Amino acid sequence: MKRKIAVTLILCLTIVAIFTIGCVEEKHATAPTPIPTPTPTPIPAVTSTLTTDGLQVTVNSVRKDDGEALPDYQKPDSGYTFLIVSITIENIGDEKERIYHPGGMMNVYDEEGYRYGVGLLMPEEVLPKDKDFSRIYPQLSPGDDEYLQPKQEIVGEVGFEVPKTSKGLQLIYWGPPSFEKLIWDLGV
């Protein structure tokens, strides 16, 4: 009797083992599915023209000036340089468009995210009055300051004081009415 129970028990265990092995899914090693990396949108470079809200904005050129010819009180801080950006803003729409002082619509950022605002007291030897955007823009339309009339453009330069070691500098422009940001890689 013990033998019959042992044989029955072994037979039952064998059947259970066969069913268990047959029901287990075999896992095959598969290569992980690669996650697609998005291709970054290239940032436009100097001489590129971008458009927002009826305004066409072009970064014409960029230059650095260490202020060597300036008296000490006008030179940039130690370790800094003047960055001068020439821009053109044109109203390509059919209605007048408001623009603000460059200090309120432009900044330069470096690759580490540090922001540099418009230098409001740039020496005239570095940024001549007749090219200084902050002196030109209030004279756009007599009696209608700060507005570009249809098909009117303004060309000027904006100065920033940035560290000599800064890299990956980008100009960011934003203005009314949508305040969409336009970004240029300054290549310096």
Q: Is residue 36 one of the residues assigned to a domain? A: no
Distance between CA atoms of residues 44 and 180, nearest Å: 15
Distance between CA atoms of residues 151 and 160, nearest Å: 28
Whether the pLDDT of residue 82 is over 50: the answer is yes
Q: Is residue 5 one of the residues assigned to a domain? A: no
Amino acid (one-letter) located at 58: T
Label residue 188 by pLDDT band (50, 70, 90).
Answer: confident
Amino acid (one-letter) located at 133: F
For the chain, give the number of residues. 188
Q: Do residues 51 and 70 touch, judged by C-beta distance below 8 A?
A: no
Q: List the structure tokens of 132.
A: 């200084």
Q: Measure CA of the first residue to CA of the last residue in the chain; give whole Å.
A: 95
Across the range 83-104, mean pLDDT stands at 86
Q: CA 12 → CA 3, 16, 17, 20, 127, distances in Å?
A: 14, 6, 9, 12, 96
Q: Is residue 35 one of the residues assigned to a domain? A: no
The whole domain housing 104 covers 49-185
Question: Could you tell me which of 89, 102, 58 has the C-alpha nearest to residue 151?
Answer: 89
Q: List the structure tokens of 67.
A: 């202020």
Residue pLDDT, tens place only, 125-151: 887 877 877 666 555 544 455 788 899
- What is the pLDDT, as a whole number, of residue 142? 44
* CATH number reported for the structural domain that contains residue 73 in this entry: 2.60.40.1240
Q: Is residue 172 one of the residues assigned to a domain? A: yes
Q: Is residue 13 one of the residues assigned to a domain? A: no
- What is the pLDDT, as a whole number, of residue 133? 72
Q: Is residue 54 one of the residues assigned to a domain? A: yes
Q: Do residues 83 and 160 touch, judged by C-beta distance below 8 A?
A: yes
Residue pLDDT, tens place only, 16-58: 556 566 555 555 555 666 777 666 778 899 999 998 888 899 9
Q: Is residue 130 one of the residues assigned to a domain? A: yes
* Between 15 and 106, residue with greater pLDDT: 106
**Which DSSP category does 24 fall into?**
S
- What is the pLDDT, as a whole number, of residue 30? 59
- What is the pLDDT, as a whole number, of residue 64? 93
* pTM, two decimal places: 0.72
Q: Is residue 4 one of the residues assigned to a domain? A: no
